[in-house]
Structure 1
């Protein structure tokens, strides 16, 4: 009986998708004909609507189980949007829409990761700084395969994000496919409140002066205001140059990045072009008259996407400011949300955006002026193991352990996953430095301390090769 219900639900979903796709193509056909200057006959419209009505009546009156009309309509709209083949165009029912709006608030409960859909895959774009996702070891470009042990293959993007989110303190198991692992990883993340603090600032002393640093984690409502305040404070304290850091920034509001660019690039040329479906292009320019009198460098990486890429392109192609790091994510489209009147909404791709030099970076990204890779330790993730890892064992988790030990300067003779005598000795040396029993076995306490040590290494500015390269550039160009 359960399998029959499961089959019926699947059939209903497919039917809804087909109905939605039919609705999309029928209406699109009529719109195109009208747009081409052909008179749309009332009879054609009537026949199209009759066909759609007939399909709906067949389902509601003849389907093997009683059909919820609201769910049927939701499925039809989802079918229309799905037929576009665009991961950034989505339909959100009332509940999903409510959760989406909450994510735009000053804080929300979840894991703090940005997810997108590419084809049939759900991809991690990046994590918010200090978020549960980052701490647990979720990485950019991870493909999400399961949530709490269940496949997400048939879900929409916003259904996936809704399942990932949840109350503070609750746990979610996320199964991911990662290129450097033969098997999928299952990572347990403890949800927490995710504050939206989008701008972080500091000064680095260099020689007799200081270099300002502004990290922008996302482009939200108040980002430009916060950045202006932090920039004013840095300039008042005295800086000889500035580093903008949009690494791991998944994007955000176009209006927000526009206001931020008004602080740094002049209006001598557009900082971007918005290209509509008919090919018309709308240039957007900054209102700034004169650029800063100090050098600026921008840090980018594979997690820099959308609005972060707009900023990077503007900084590089308008003013010639260098980009330091690695190639960005590559999202070159602009979306707009539409309220559908009943609490639901549609987020629809409305246009492309082009760089100041009219390049479309979609699925290509923006290459850095100066490519700088991070130390291998930055690629390591927290190690979770339900069993104690010890001498003589052989598995992928031990390979991760060996790379962690090597990254911390505790030399191990191999990184193939075999727990050798050299690995045991390195574990003992680490246990000694953190005050644990020196038994050479990687138990829970040892793994927790290793994770803390790796995180501390990453947070030390001296180990951040990209940041140090930016500081060096600023120093040479003061």
Structure 2
């Protein structure tokens, strides 16, 4: 989440840099005067007023600067050194959500707000010096390629990302529609793999609604941007006018968004006067955002969540669970419970600093940061929903072992073939299953998995994942809502 000055503005941070859809949230909270003043100065003594440098501190910074300028092997651009000093201070916070953007990056950060973006469609953060995926956007190239929350992106097109700032890493991954990004991915419990993502337009259309069997409504929220609240209101009214008996709200793999949007969308489900969310500053002072017009809903509500549900999604899930009587279905959420403010005027050169200044809490006062929100009804998707893409480095054949074979077997199970085992040993039954798949797809029937077979297999698995009939979490949510509505 971020605050931008005194106003609520969503910044789709990494998407704004042309590749990632980030949804870092903003809150309508007036910045403390100490933050807004931007005062600075020099003290002639050994001590300084709060916010000022001592003479000794200024001398240390100046000395380091001149040592570099006068003695380093090559000439260094002055601006680059200053930017590096600011970056260094923010890096010292050890906070993946506090970053510095130079004027060019800051301009990109703002220019593409509320537009259609080109990229891979995933939010990332920088943790322990590595680029970590928060969540791929539903329907994005990243999701289709099999990128998952918590994946580490180690390299792009063979170029390592170690030692880069987040914005530098983003600039390596960004690129025009139709171009390929070969990502080196590290996933827990697996060897590193290469995933090819074809960049594309990432639209900002965020609401998808439909009426399911049994008059159960479903609204999918992919992000919370400027128009999302109105679209949600329209979709909700349409479903209610059609005689909806219960509602499923899907915020899976939704990385968050604009704070006013999530408040407006949550309010109808939270009775008047009850809290939707709280924020807490570094002094422990708390402030609640209360429901002003909410009445609650008479019909049952379920909220679908997973470990890609972050920030604003978690605010909505927490509010509806704790104050709206909804049940959370699926998997534990990501766990982003901090608030950032962007200082876009204070530096005076078009650059800005995005810095964590607060944390947000659920209505009951829970801080979910790095913990997430647990579902009331825990449901995991089938194994093939999270299977890694095949590396395609070698042809897979009889008697081979390893993660690639294990993933192959998991995929075969997902598309209805029977490899006989899923432990990573390529046995005769796996050969038979591969041949059956090849026959069905007019491929050479070899029983071996070359690149063409691997690509076809991944496409078949993606099709199965997108089929609602295979969505165990959605089925569970619908069953709950249907059962509650019938009581």
TM-score interval for Structure 1 and Structure 2 normalised by the shorter chain: 0.7 to 0.9
Structure with the largest fraction of helix: 1
Q: Compute the displacement of 1:423 (Å).
A: 1.1
Aligned counterparts of 2:48 and 2:394: Cα–Cα separation in 1:
72
Aligned counterparts of 2:242 and 2:350: Cα–Cα separation in 1:
48
Q: Are 1:302 and 2:310 matched, yes or no?
A: no
1:121-163: CA deviation from partner (whole Å, max 9, x where unpaired): 3211111111111111211111122222222221112222222
Q: Compute the displacement of 1:215 (Å).
A: 0.9
Give 2:33's aligned residue: none
Q: Are 1:71 and 2:80 matched, yes or no?
A: yes
Question: Structure 2 length normalisation: TM-score?
Answer: 0.85
Q: Are 1:255 and 2:263 matched, yes or no?
A: no
Q: Secondary structure at the match of 1:180?
A: coil
CA contact (8 A) 1:264 1:288 kept: no
Q: Rg larger in 1 or in 2?
A: 1
Q: Are 1:276 and 2:281 matched, yes or no?
A: yes
Q: Secondary structure at the match of 1:271?
A: strand
CA contact (8 A) 1:204 1:211 kept: yes
Give 1:23's aligned residue: none
1:189-210: CA deviation from partner (whole Å, max 9, x where unpaired): 111111122111111012xxx1
1:194-236: CA deviation from partner (whole Å, max 9, x where unpaired): 1122111111012xxx111111111122211221122222222
- Tell me, which stretches of 5 or more residues in structure 1 are unaligned? 1-29
Q: 2:235 aligns with which of 209, 214, 230?
A: 230
Please say which of residues 459-468 and 409-418 is displaced more in the overlay: 409-418
Give 1:27's aligned residue: none
Q: How does 1:214-363 map to 2 (within 5 A)?
A: 214-339=219-344, 340-363=347-370
Q: How does 1:392-471 map to 2 (within 5 A)?
A: 392-471=399-478
Gap change, CA 1:441 and 1:127, over 3 Å in 2: same
Q: Secondary structure at the match of 1:364?
A: coil
Question: Structure 1 length normalisation: TM-score?
Answer: 0.86
Q: Secondary structure at the match of 1:95?
A: helix
Q: Are 1:475 and 2:478 matched, yes or no?
A: no
Q: 1:205 aligns with which of 213, 223, 228?
A: 213
CA contact (8 A) 2:193 2:391 kept: no
Gap change, CA 1:438 and 1:53, over 3 Å in 2: closer
Gap change, CA 1:204 and 1:119, over 3 Å in 2: same
Gap change, CA 1:44 and 1:219, over 3 Å in 2: closer
Q: 1:389 aligns with which of 391, 396, 399?
A: 396
Aligned counterparts of 1:443 and 1:71: Cα–Cα separation in 2:
47
Number of residue pairs matched by the alignment: 440
Give 2:382's aligned residue: 375
CA contact (8 A) 1:246 1:300 kept: yes
Aligned counterparts of 1:321 and 1:268: Cα–Cα separation in 2:
18
Q: Secondary structure at the match of 1:319?
A: coil
CA-atom RMSD, angstroms? 2.4
CA contact (8 A) 2:273 2:292 kept: no
Q: 2:173 aligns with which of 155, 158, 164?
A: 164
Q: Compute the displacement of 1:371 (Å).
A: 0.8
Q: 2:106 aligns with which of 85, 88, 97?
A: 97
Aligned counterparts of 2:348 and 2:118: Cα–Cα separation in 1:
27
Q: Compute the displacement of 1:357 (Å).
A: 0.7
Q: 1:149 aligns with which of 158, 161, 170?
A: 158
Q: Compute the displacement of 1:337 (Å).
A: 1.4
Q: 1:128 aligns with which of 137, 142, 154?
A: 137
Aligned counterparts of 1:260 and 1:418: Cα–Cα separation in 2:
49
Q: Compute the displacement of 1:438 (Å).
A: 3.1
Q: Compute the displacement of 1:295 (Å).
A: 1.2
Gap change, CA 1:295 and 1:61, over 3 Å in 2: same
Q: Secondary structure at the match of 1:446?
A: helix
Q: Compute the displacement of 1:370 (Å).
A: 1.0
- The answer to which structure, 1 or 2, has the higher relative contact order (CA under 8 A, 6+ apart) is 2
Give 2:93's aligned residue: 84
CA contact (8 A) 2:121 2:137 kept: yes
CA contact (8 A) 1:327 1:367 kept: yes
Gap change, CA 1:373 and 1:230, over 3 Å in 2: same
